[in-house]
């Protein structure tokens, strides 16, 4: 319970830090140390919260941004990720494999409204969310008190275009949430 109060306090400080960073012209979220620290703290709290409760695979929702899909792909996966033809040009194929292997829910959202719709429909106990810094942090804040483990996407080609995510990190977190491995503290601070 104390951690939840600390989480709320950090949330207030997060808003203040963003306000101040904009005042000093640091609104580039790519290298924002504040966002990195907030996500680290959030993920640590989320791991501790989930460790204490039993979570089934069907109670886990992985939310992905649509920009993970190859830009030139003609297949629409935002309505159904299983539409992926597994060409291997993006990480969606790997995410479909994780979905099938673990029995988790995986959805691709084009924005916050669709992400909230998926959360309302699936009613998960835990969310693993992938997005850029601004969208991920605001999504975590909007979803409170639902535990959300966040992972920043890699914007190799710029924002919202052929991004990537460390799928091995998602697999590692799934194994922790499902109790297949002992709890491991995050090493990055």
Token representation of residue 104: 């988790």
**Ranges of H-type helices in 103-149:** 112-122, 133-143
Dihedral angle computed from the Cα positions of residues 35, 41, 44 and 46, in that order, rounded to the nearest 10 degrees: -80
CA distances from 15 to 25, 85, 122, 139, 172 (A): 15, 41, 29, 13, 30
Average pLDDT over residues 57-85: 90
Comparing CA positions, the residue from 17, 34, 20, 38 lying closest to residue 140 is 38
Cβ–Cβ < 8 Å for 121, 137: no
pLDDT band, residue 182 (cuts 50/70/90): very low
Average pLDDT, the chain: 82
More confident residue, 10 or 86: 86
Backbone angles phi, psi at 84, to 5 degrees: -55, 135
Q: State the pLDDT at residue 34.
A: 73
pLDDT band, residue 161 (cuts 50/70/90): confident
Terminal-to-terminal C-alpha distance of the chain: 23
> Whole-prediction pTM value?
0.81
pLDDT at 184 over 60: no
At which residue do the structure tokens 């400080």 appear? 13
pLDDT in tens, 1-50: 555 666 667 667 666 666 666 665 554 544 467 778 888 988 998 998 88
Average pLDDT over residues 139-146: 86
Average pLDDT over residues 58-71: 92
């Amino acid at each position: 319970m104390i951690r939840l109060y600390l989480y709320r306090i950090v949330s207030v400080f997060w808003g203040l830090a963003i306000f101040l960073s904009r005042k000093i012209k640091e609104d580039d979220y790519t290298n924002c140390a504040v966002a990195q620290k907030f996500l680290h703290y959030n993920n640590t709290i989320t791991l501790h919260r989930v460790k204490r409760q039993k979570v089934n695979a069907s109670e886990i929702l992985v939310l992905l941004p649509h920009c993970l899909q190859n830009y030139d792909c003609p297949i629409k996966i935002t309505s159904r990720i299983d539409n992926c033809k597994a060409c291997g040009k993006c990480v969606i194929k790997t995410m479909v494999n994780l979905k099938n292997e673990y029995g988790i829910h995986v959805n691709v959202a084009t924005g916050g409204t669709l992400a909230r719709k998926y959360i309302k429909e699936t009613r998960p106990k835990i969310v693993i969310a992938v997005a850029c810094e601004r969208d991920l942090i605001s999504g975590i804040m909007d979803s409170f008190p639902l535990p959300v483990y966040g992972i920043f996407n890699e914007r190799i080609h710029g924002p919202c275009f052929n991004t990537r995510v460390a799928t091995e990190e998602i697999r590692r977190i799934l194994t922790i949430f499902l109790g297949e491995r002992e709890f491991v503290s995050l090493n990055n601070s």
